[in-house]
Amino acid sequence: MGLRGMRYRIIALVAVLLAVVDATATVAAAKPEPGCPDSCGNVSIPYPFGTSPECFLNNDFFIKCDNSTAFFRNSTIPVVNITIDDGGLHVTNPRARDCYDSVLEKDRWRWLYLSNFTINNRNKFTVIGCDSYAYIRGYIGNRSYFGGCTSWCDSDDSVTNGSCVGFGCCQVEIPKGLNEINITAYSYYNHTDVSSFNPCTYAFVVEESKFSFSSTYLSNITEDFPMVIDWAINGTCTEHLCGENAWCNKTDGTTYPGYRCHCNQGYEGNPYLSNGCQDIDECAQKTHNCTHNCVNEIGSFTCRCPKGQHGDGVRGGNGCTPNLFPVLTVTLGVGISIVLMLMSCSWLYLVLKKRKLIKIKEKFFQQNGGFLLQQQLSQRNGSSDTAKIFTTEELQKATNNYAEDRIIGRGGFGTVFIGFLTDNSAIAIKKSKIVDQSQVEQFVNEVVVLSQINHRNVVRLLGCCLETEVPLLVYEFVSNGTLFEHIHNKEKFLALSWENRLKIAAEIAEVLSYLHSAASTPIIHRDVKSSNILLDDNYTAKVSDFGASKLVPMDETQLSTMVQGTLGYLDPEYLHTSQLTEKSDVYSFGVVLVELLTGKKALLFDRPEEHRSLANYFLSSLNENCFFEILENHVVTDENKEKLKEVGNLAARCLRVKGDERPTMKEVAMELEGLRRMQKRCWDNPELNAEAESVHLLAETNDAYYFGHDSTSATNVAGYDSLKDQILVAIDDGR
């Protein structure tokens, strides 16, 4: 770690110690003293924020007021707005810059530490320039984060206003929960000849909705861009500081840990003050829905009919009607009331229970990402193949109330039930074991991804149910179990002949090729494994479980993501770099291909540590000329040995450590389909077998070194990542 990095750590440690002391004092903190200023210039300063110790809750909420300008704590970052309802602190974010005529190191980087506050993920990391790149580093709790972006252009005429996709302007998303960031700006070249239109690289974090790129920014940026910081009070709702007529809301613990206060319904004001939430006079503000007389009440209002009339007095209700026969009306009313009272007793329980059930369903719908799912599906631009929203009653009836005899699968994720709809069509219902609110986005992601796929070898999503505590997904029913069961179950593996295995491999490769290159938006599955491949009665492969999948924008070739997948199938390059590409699926498919060849599981715990990975064990066996010894016994025949070699060679290419050296899924699918068709022709006409083998051997690729030849004779396919290489070259150059 350099001196600069050590300086950051020391500053951060001091800040953490101050925060601990501050938090200790917060428990017994009092409300602001009388006479505390509630503004600085034209910026309102609501409590718990304040401009002096007797006015703010703790040092996290200190606003320095200097010459009628509000600054965030003791920094030089101006505050432009503070919102109470959503916990937003809007500040003007400083920019890092690297100019060709400037050698000031302090201009190149900007650092911000937020203690218990975090940066809202509505912000985006932005880089502006024509030969520019910048990094953003930070921490989410104790976990480090690193990201970057690069921008190119030839002139200010080659960029498009409002577009920030890499030509003059580049933007990337930032994760939730960043409480510390360090931004550093660089330029690849000292291009004094183009200084008239692009003298500097600029890097900053900006609220996405408040920023629109302009070509004039390439020559100079004079305006300040806003950034949103999420704030909350550090603590729990059991010891909250909310005032009267207010309630405490615990935050999610990642974006802004702690809690916030909100005024009760019918009240408005500052919920952090003892008497800050005041009753809203709906009648005076004319926000009521009364047709005649509005009467304000504490926290609410009522509608009354004029004298001599009766009814509900609510607009859109039954309205007010004249009392034509008051005595008769009262008499009949009493008699009818007695009768209705007897009937109401039997209905009251059912009504209350139904209302409670409706509220519970609404609560679960929101918790399970219903609004997020609606938003995602609404962005599908009117797709005709929309998933159905099932009710709890439909699925309970279909599964006989989730009876034990309807269970067709169990696993770490939960349970799968078979059900039958009213038209007797079979469905599969995926039900998680536990409720994990952190997995709501993954659940919504699986619905969105599957709803965009229309392929015969992908398990079709029929719909979902969000009205239960555990969200449910409804798929088409695939009758013959998983590929994992057929490979590793002694009662089923004999049914998987070589012909079936080759057919299944070709179908899996073809659907992954479709996801990578033929889908409207490329999709990386991220969890390709034999247990996620289902088979129907004709042994047709169906790829399932898209919960970890990632949609890839057309202008991106790789994504920085948190590593997800299954050990034994996980791409080692992805595990090391967190850079997700379609070649990660190619590696996982290679492991499945080896499973089909060998009949062995992806992790072999009965072998030495260096051979516990099936991929390593397979490649080692190839290099030791033990290929046929590790294959499934009933798969090998004298007629298909050459085909097995070719499939083994293809699997070895898929398992290369470097993703750039692996084939694409399109190439894999074409090769497997070619082998399948050739073998099918040989089965139909055995006399063509010898000729087909001879022709193929003449076209043998130099990857055959896996079967005993010198590895130095192989042609290595090297990929080239221009951005990565140029960043490594330029990281020490600057302007």
SS3 state at 250: strand
Q: What are phi and psi of 598, to 5 degrees?
A: -100, -25
- State mean pLDDT over 232-247: 89
- The per-residue pLDDT for 654 is 96
- The per-residue pLDDT for 719 is 32
**Over 90: is that where the pLDDT of 21 sits?**
no
- State mean pLDDT over 110-127: 90
- State mean pLDDT over 66-73: 91
**E strand or H helix at 453, and its extent?**
none
Q: What are phi and psi of 176, to 5 degrees?
A: -70, 150
**Over 60: is that where the pLDDT of 11 sits?**
no
- The per-residue pLDDT for 273 is 92
- State mean pLDDT over 297-324: 78
**Over 70: is that where the pLDDT of 722 sits?**
no
- State mean pLDDT over 395-424: 86
Token readout for 496 is: 């998987």
Lowest mean pLDDT among 141-150, 160-169, 283-292, 547-556: 547-556
> Crossing angle for the helix pair 582-598 and 498-513, nearest 10 degrees?
170
- The per-residue pLDDT for 347 is 83
**Over 50: is that where the pLDDT of 397 sits?**
yes
**Over 90: is that where the pLDDT of 418 sits?**
yes
Active-site choice (98, 279, 527, 571): 527
Is pLDDT larger for residue 702 or for residue 583?
583
- State mean pLDDT over 722-727: 30
- The per-residue pLDDT for 455 is 86
Give the tens place of pLDDT for each residue, 330-367: 677 788 888 888 887 878 888 888 888 888 888 888 87
Q: DSSP state, 716?
A: P
- The per-residue pLDDT for 454 is 79
Q: What CA–CA distance (Å, rounded) separates 623 from 426?
A: 48
The DSSP result for 359-399, as a single string, is HHHHHHHHHTTHHHHHHHHHTTSS-S-PPEE--HHHHHHHT
- The per-residue pLDDT for 203 is 95
Report the length, in residues, of the chain.
735
pTM for the model:
0.47
Cβ burial of 610 (10 Å; 0-12, 13-18, 19+) is: exposed
Answer yes or no: 385 catalytic. no
b/e for 549-587, b at 16 or more Cβ within 10 A?
bbebeeeeebeeeeeebbebbbbbbbeeeebbbbbbbbb
Distance of CA 65 to the CA centre of its chain: 39
Q: Where does 273-325 have alpha helices with state H?
A: 282-285
Give the tens place of pLDDT for each residue, 316-325: 677 787 766 5
- The per-residue pLDDT for 545 is 78
Distance of CA 403 to the CA centre of its chain: 33
- The per-residue pLDDT for 555 is 55
Is pLDDT larger for residue 175 or for residue 447?
175
**Over 90: is that where the pLDDT of 48 sits?**
yes
pLDDT band at 214 (very low <50, low <70, confident <90, very high): very high
For residue 499, the tally of other CB atoms under 10 A from its CB is 14
- From the list 617, 616, 618, the residue with the least C-alpha distance to 657 is 616
Q: What CA–CA distance (Å, rounded) separates 307 from 214?
A: 65
pLDDT band at 104 (very low <50, low <70, confident <90, very high): low
Which residues are CB-neighbours of 215 under 8 A, at least 6 positions away? 156, 157, 159, 161, 168
Q: What CA–CA distance (Å, rounded) separates 685 from 674?
A: 16
Whole-number average pLDDT of the chain: 80
Lowest mean pLDDT among 55-69, 94-108, 235-249: 94-108
pLDDT band at 695 (very low <50, low <70, confident <90, very high): very low
- The per-residue pLDDT for 647 is 94
**Over 50: is that where the pLDDT of 53 sits?**
yes
- The per-residue pLDDT for 353 is 80
- State mean pLDDT over 694-719: 36
**E strand or H helix at 166, and its extent?**
none
Omega within 30 of 0 (cis) for the link into 48: yes
- The per-residue pLDDT for 384 is 53
Is pLDDT larger for residue 449 or for residue 690?
449
Kindly list the strands in the beta sheet with 109-113, ordered across the sheet, starting from the edge strand earlier in the chain: 109-113, 180-187, 131-140, 143-152
- The per-residue pLDDT for 23 is 42
